[in-house]
Amino acid sequence: MRLNVVLRYIGMVMLFMAAAMLATTIVAYVSSRDSSFYALLLSTLLTALLGSFPLIFTHAESYISNKESYVIVLGGWLMACVVTTFPYLMWGGEFSFINAWFESVSGLTTTGASILSDIEFLPRGLLFWRMISTWIGGIGVIMFALVILPSMGRNKMTLSNVELSSVAKDNYHYRSQTVVQIILVVYFGLTSLITLMLKMAGMNWYDALTHAMSVASTSGFSTKNASIAHFDSAAIESILIFGMIAAGTHFGMIYATLTGKRNNIFRSEVMRVYIVMIVVCSAAMAANLYLSGYYPDLITSIRHATFQFTSLFTTTGFATVDSNPWPPLTIVVLIFGSIVCACAGSTTGGIKINRALIAAKMFKQRVQQQQHPNAIFRVKVDGVSQDNETLQTVAIFIVFYLFLILLGTVVSTLFGFDVTTSFTAAVACLGNVGPGFGDVGSMDNYATMPSALKGFLSLLMLLGRLEIFGLIQLFLIKWWR
Amino acid sequence: MGLKRRITLGFMGIVAILLIAGMVSFIELSMLGRETDKIFDSTRRNSDYASEMLKSLSSQNNAFIKMLAFDDNSYDTICYNSIDRLEEVLTSARRHSLQPEFIDSMVMNARQIRTLCSNFADARDSLNRLAEARRLVQLADSTHTTTPATVSVRDQRSTTIPIYNDYRVVYNNTMEMVSGYLTLSQDALAPDAQQLHHNAYRAVTPVMISLLVMIVVVLMLYYFTMIICVNPIISINKSLINFLNFKIPFAPKCYKRDEAEQLCENISALIKGSKKQ
């Protein structure tokens, strides 16, 4: 492996992060040069220097190997997390080293879990940096860098293959360069559309833009302490529900639908399951809330149930109410949503419906196979037969995912947290959801957790964002040789 | 870009980091110094103003109590002068205050005290006038003894005690506000200083981060210098020795770019030329 080549591409990612920081510095300057201005300015300069250094010494290479691509993607992610902490650390406040790292990882992995007890105290510049980092993380730092930075030639394909979720690639029947462009066009389009809609619904431009960024990236970061409950507006909540559902849909399918292609939303089996799950689970929760007398009228029950379920199912994590005291059935449904999560090829985390659907079909195939031992049954999704390697990968992924949730629960309980808090914190961090239940409920945060646990949960977030296998490669020394 | 330019740029980068880190640290520390000075100044000013306020309030209160006890209007001037003084101090304090709204509520209290004192004086004067009128009536008709010559204590109390009660509440409230004003500047620390509230080391965080970045950059400089300069030279030299001593073909295995690549090509050309001769 050529370290200099790896460093060159990681340097490009750093330069991209520096550009984002510069944009935020301008925001801080415009906001009466608030207290985050110097922190952002110095962070921009340091990141730019860090990024440009390998570019001074290394030439562009026409070929990068698969192994190098993995290291570039992982190194790019880790370094992006490191440089994201710079403005937080330099600004101070609640940001100790571990808090800054947690907030940075949570932002870039679009988890949306926070350690801040008073978000509104942050200066505008730093709040914007929090939002822009999560927006960049939405479709991945590498993906952004691939489009914005030129002269990468065919290396784009290798890198985008590593960055894209394995189950997400099925819906893309384009050249690698086009895939990256499609993702960005849909992402920018979605962010712009939601910004306009939120503005029309009564938010100011700053809140509309930052919340649109948060929705498009399904992170759930808000500029308000009370999250979406602060606005208490049915119109805003409806727009956000639409935004969250759209952000949880495969971007390739959105593009195909808009351009009149065949593999569109209306033909997709995964999409059908996605919508049916939202409708059925929201209805079940609303009925449970209404019948248990938690809310006096059905409309309020439907409003809160739909918002909360969509929010957790799409791994966004916004909140309109504190769902902690809700009846047990609704909590179970919400946890189920936090584990399964939305479609592959979107900005969401979790197991993803595609894998859950394949797993369900594998189960059905197994039962049929036992009934008819000599028959040949194929697992098909959207009419496409899935090969054995895909099935095996899906099965291993789900098993390992559940194992990590168990591990996360055990580790959290070791620190003295109750089972609900520990389990849901592990689910929320691994699935990049953000809020859980218990001490980490939708109106609480992770501030009270000990530093070591915050570090561990950050690792879970990264594992979830890089779909487990990616990050684990980094720790396999044998693989490096 | 040649080797010389690359290495120069690398070193310039390090110098730039040092410069930037130094500059930003200087700015940050200057800002911190300014904030700290601001707090000290504000605290000192608050103490001065609070002392003035207490003096004015005390003098006004003494005058008011004497007005109440001796039923004499000679203390009115002292009372009003003290309130005037208090209002002047409050106006000056408002100009320098970090939280003018706090002073505004004190000004409101001072106005209330003035109104209450004025109400008390009016009530007292009207009672005195009434007593004077009764006295004159009594003098004119000395046979009438049904009307008392002076105002009864009950009449006086029923008029002045509610005013005094109100006054006492406002006065105590104002005294508490003056005490609060003494610590106001500490509570209203500017944001930059408030960030340092928990951890003093935050003042040097930018320098620490810059140092860490510089360590990484220096390590990278070492690595790249090795890979683009030192290793090629060693490899070329080794290959050349092998060629000269053992006639092993000249083919150095290293990262050959820029001058190192040219050097290899030139040596190869030289070897080819010498073979032809």
Cα A417 from Cα A429, distance rounded (Å)? 15
Which amino acid, B75?
Answer: Y
Q: Is pLDDT at A260 greater than 90 in this prediction?
A: no
Give the per-residue pLDDT at B104.
Answer: 85
Widest distance between CA atoms in chain A:
75
Are the CB atoms for A112 and A349 separated by under 8 Å? Answer: no
| CA of A69 vs chain B CAs: smallest distance (Å) | 20
CB contact under 8 A, B191 and A123: yes
**Lowest mean pLDDT across A335-339, A385-389, B201-205:** B201-205
Who among B13, B198, B206 is closest to A90 (CB)? Answer: B206
Please say whether the beta carbons of A1 and A480 come within 8 A. Answer: yes
Q: What is the mean pLDDT of residues A163-175?
A: 58
More confident residue, A285 or B67: A285
pLDDT average, residue stretch B38-58: 83
For chain B, where are the E strands, in sequence order?
A: none
Q: pLDDT band for position B191 (50/70/90)?
A: low
pLDDT band at residue A184 using 50, 70 and 90 as cut-offs: confident
Closest alpha carbon within chain B to A89: B205
Direct distance between the N- and C-terminal alpha carbons of chain B, in angstroms, rounded to an integer:
35
Maximum pairwise Cα distance, chain B: 159
Is A455's Cβ below 8 Å from some Cβ in B?
no
- A151 or A45, which is more confident? A45
What pLDDT does A150 receive? 46
Which of A46, A52, A56 has its CB closest to that of B210?
A: A46
Count Cα atoms within 13 angstroms, Cβ side, for B271.
17
Q: Which residue has the tokens 């959801």?
A: A433
Stretch A48-67: mean pLDDT, rounded?
A: 82
* pTM strictly above 0.90: no
Higher-pLDDT residue of A211 and A252 is A211
Contact between B205 and A92 using a beta-carbon 8 Å cutoff: yes
**CB within 8 Å of chain A, chain B residues 165-224:** 191-192, 194-196, 198-199, 202, 205-206, 209-210, 213, 216-217, 220-221, 223-224
B32 to chain A: closest CA residue: A35
* B68 interfacial to chain A (CB closer than 8 Å): no
A89 contact residues in B (CB cutoff 8 A)? 205, 209
What percent of chain A has pLDDT above 70? Answer: 90
Cα B94 from Cα A105, distance rounded (Å): 45
Long-range contacts, stretch B39-42, CB < 8 angstroms, 24+ apart: B39/B185, B39/B186, B39/B189, B39/B190, B39/B193, B42/B96, B42/B97, B42/B98, B42/B185, B42/B188
Residue A53 confidence (pLDDT) above 80: yes
Q: Chain A to chain B, count of Cβ pairs less than 8 Å apart?
A: 79
Question: Is B259 at the interface with chain A, CB within 8 A?
Answer: no
* Span B242-267, pLDDT tens digits: 888 888 888 888 777 778 888 888 88
Q: Residues near A326 by Cβ (< 8 Å), separated by ≥ 6?
A: A289, A294, A334
Which residue bears the tokens 């000679």?
A: B74
Count of other CB atoms within 10 angstroms of residue B72: 11
Asked if the Cβ–Cβ distance from A46 to B20 is below 8 Å, we say yes
Contacts of A433 (CB under 8 A, 6+ apart): A111, A112, A220, A312, A315, A316, A317, A338, A341, A349, A350, A427
Per the CB < 8 A criterion, the answer to whether A445 and A92 are in contact is no
Residue A348 has a pLDDT of 85
- At B157 the pLDDT is 64
- Per the CB < 8 Å rule, is B195 touching A96? no
Q: Which of A150, A103, A144 is nearest to A127 (CA)?
A: A103
Residue A56: closest C-alpha in chain B: B6
> Would you say residue A40 has pLDDT above 50?
yes
Is pLDDT of B198 > 60?
Answer: no
Select from A17, A32, A50, A53 the residue whose CB has the most chain B CBs within 10 Å, as the one to mutate to test that interface. A53
Nearest to B206 among A42, A52, A93 (CB): A42
Query: Is a pLDDT exceeding 70 seen at residue A463?
Result: yes
Number of neighbouring beta carbons within 10 Å of residue B117: 21
Amino acid B225 reads: T
Contacts for B233 with CB less than 8 Å, ≥ 6 apart: B260
Interface check for A466 against chain B (CB to CB < 8 A): the answer is no
Decide if B252 touches A, using CB distance below 8 A: no
A133-147, A332-346, A351-365, B85-99: the lowest-pLDDT one: A133-147
A46: nearest CB among B209, B220, B255: B209
Kindly report which listed range (A9-13, A268-272, A387-391, B218-222) carries the lowest average pLDDT score.
A387-391
Q: Write out chain B residues lying below 8 Å of A4, CB-based.
A: 223-224, 227, 255
Say if residues B1 and B253 touch (Cβ distance below 8 Å). Answer: no
From the list A45, A53, A89, the residue facing B20 with the nearest CB is A45
- Give A56 to chain B, closest Cα distance, Å: 6
Tell me the chain A residues in contact with residue B1 when contact means C-beta distances shorter than 8 Å: 56
CA distance A28 to A37: 5
- Whether chain B has a CB inside 8 Å of the CB on A56: the answer is yes
A contacts of B257 (beta carbons < 8 Å): 59
What value does the mean pLDDT take over residues A58-73?
78
Which tens digit of pLDDT belongs to each residue from A78-128? 999 999 999 998 888 888 889 999 999 999 999 988 898 888 888 899 999
Q: How many CB atoms lie within 10 A of CB A43?
A: 31
Query: Is residue A461 within 8 Å of residue A62, measured between CB atoms?
Result: no
In the block, tokens 């190194």 appear at A75
- pLDDT-derived band at A476, boundaries 50, 70, 90: low
pLDDT, tens digit (0-9, with 9 covering 90-100), for A193-207: 999 999 999 899 999
Can you tell me the mean pLDDT for A281-300?
A: 92
Which residues of chain A does B24 touch, with a Cβ-Cβ cutoff of 8 Å? 38, 41-42
User: Tens of pLDDT along B97-133?
Assistant: 767 788 888 888 888 888 888 888 887 777 777 777 8
In which band, very low, low, confident or very high, does the pLDDT at B202 lie, cut at 50, 70 and 90? low
**Mean pLDDT, range B2-15, rounded to an integer:** 83
> What is the CB neighbour count within 10 angstroms for residue B187?
10
pLDDT of residue A18: 93
**What pLDDT is attached to residue B151?**
55
B89, pLDDT greater than 80: yes
Sign of the CA dihedral running B199, B200, B206, B207: negative
Structure tokens at B66: 């004497």
What average pLDDT score do residues A149-164 get? Answer: 54
Flag whether the ipTM exceeds 0.90: no
B chain contacts of residue A3, beta-carbon cutoff 8 Å? 223
| Confidence at B156, pLDDT banded by 50, 70, 90 | low
Residue range B184-198: average pLDDT?
61
Q: Which residue of B has its CA nearest to A4?
A: B224
Q: Which of A38, A43, A54 sits opposite B220 (nearest CB)?
A: A54
**pLDDT tens for each residue of A220-242:** 899 998 889 999 899 999 999 99
Least-confidence region, from A190-194, B52-56, B162-166 = B162-166
Residues 6+ apart with CB under 8 A from A477: none
Q: What is the pLDDT of residue A452?
A: 94
Q: Is A39 on the interface with B (CB under 8 A)?
A: yes
